[in-house]
Every structure is written in C-alpha cells, then in structure tokens.
Amino acid sequence: MSPEGHILIVDDDAEIRRLAGKFLREHGHKVTAAQDAREMREAMAAGTVDLIILDIMLPGANGLDLCRDIRRTSNVPIIMLTARGSDVDRIVGLELGADDYLAKPFNPRELLARIHAVLRRTQPQGTGMGTGSGGQLAFSGWTLDTRRRELTNPEGAIVDLSTGEYDLLLTFLEHPQRVLTRDQLMDAAKNRIATGFDRAIDIQVSRLRRKLDSSGGPEMVKTVRGAGYFFVPEVVRS
C-alpha cells in the first residue's frame, strides 16, 4: 500500500507517538515522530509533510508557539492536541491557524477520521460545494484560483490561506449575497468536525475577514445578528 499522506506527530509522550504512529501506519500513512521543536523542524526540513499532529504541552517552545511559527512560512494542515475541556487552548489554536483540534485522551479512529477530513480539504477536487467548470472566482478586484488554491488581492499579491480559511471563502463565493448559518457554513466547508464548539466557525470568519479587509476596501463578510453571515460582493466565475 502506498502512503496516503506523510503525517508528522509532534508530542513529548513516547507512548502516544508509538501507538498513534503504529495505528496510522496500519492505515496506509507514512509517519514521522518528533518529541520537541528541534526534531519537528528537522523532520520538516527533511521532506514534504502533508499534515502535522501538534501537542500543545511540549517542553521548551509549546505547541501554540510552534503553530504560530509554522504559519509564518507554511500552510501545512495542523491538528492540535489539547487538554480535555481546555476551550482557551482551542480558541487560541484556531486563531493562530490550526485546522482542527482533538482533546486528550483520544480514540485513534477519531484521530484518523479527522486526518482524512483535513487531507480531503487540501485536495483541489475536494473544495467546498464544487467549483463547476470555472477555475477562477473574481470578486471586488480579488481572484480565487480554485485549481491552484491561490487567493490574489487587487494589487496582484498572493494572500496565504489556511485550509479552513480557503474552504470557508470558497463556500461564500459559491453562495454569494445570501445569508448562511453557522451550520450551513460548517457543512458546506466540511468543518462538521468542529460541531460542539460554536466559536470555531466565528473564529474562522474573523480570520478570513482580517485578510479580506487588509486592502482597505468595504467589508465583504457581514454578520446578520441571530442568523449567520452574508457575503456582500458579486462573484464572477471564469
């Protein structure tokens, strides 16, 4: 069986690295394990990593610091491992660019399901509600290239998007000028894994807004109190 993806497990608990690594290898993934920031950076420098499982509680630089560092140079998907019930860690992790989170202790099958969900969202054929025959979606001077998964601002610069931000933006562009509820956004953007944590979609919208509003134009995503969110610009497919 050829590997479905290269997974990097970053956790200082040797038993978690061993058991999770064994389980993921049995299900077709290539796995590299790291116990701290140094080993994580060495693994990333040695070859392509498709997804990182990143524990928050690490010696030295913690997982939140590492997530922030990774996002400065890479959009590789990140699943954070958090202490059960630690909503603050989950919120901060999502704000820093994590794509999902999982509380310890966890069921290996749930971890596998979340990995597969995130990896599907990184594939061009698995984007949102589908992009039809058009490869580009234009709005207010911006362009989203769905084949390259690239967002270009009105000045022609590429704006980095995390997997979750890309899925959310694509969902808005496929359903412009209509109110979308949180549940609709999570379903359409394939973020149902965040169910039970209501602020997850709000955090993703907030992060996307900051990037879209960086050019100083009018607000594109409006909050409809008690209903959801509304994408204002007209969208042209090409």
- Residue type (1 letter), 179: V
Q: Which domain holds residue 188?
A: 126-237
Domain presence at residue 213: yes
Cβ 227 vs Cβ 179: under 8 Å: yes
How many domains, in total, are found in the chain? 2
User: Which pLDDT does position 188 carry in this prediction?
Assistant: 66
Pair 191, 150 in one domain: yes
d(CA 133, CA 70) in angstroms, rounded, equals: 33
Cβ 102 vs Cβ 44: under 8 Å: no
The DSSP code sequence of 11-30 is: -S-HHHHHHHHHHHHHTT-E
- Residue type (1 letter), 83: A
pTM: 0.60
Pair 98, 169 in one domain: no
Residue 78: CATH number of its domain:
3.40.50.2300
- What is the full per-residue pLDDT of the chain (238 aa) written as tens digits? 345 789 999 999 999 999 999 999 999 999 999 999 999 999 999 888 999 999 998 988 889 999 989 988 888 899 999 876 567 777 788 888 888 888 888 999 999 998 988 887 655 443 333 434 457 899 999 999 988 889 999 999 999 888 778 888 998 998 888 888 887 787 766 544 444 455 778 888 998 999 998 767 788 999 998 888 999 999 998 7
Pair 76, 130 in one domain: no
Pair 232, 184 in one domain: yes
Asked which of 90, 122, 154 is the last residue of a domain, the reply is 122
With H, G, I as helix, E, B as strand and everything else as coil, classify residue 159: strand
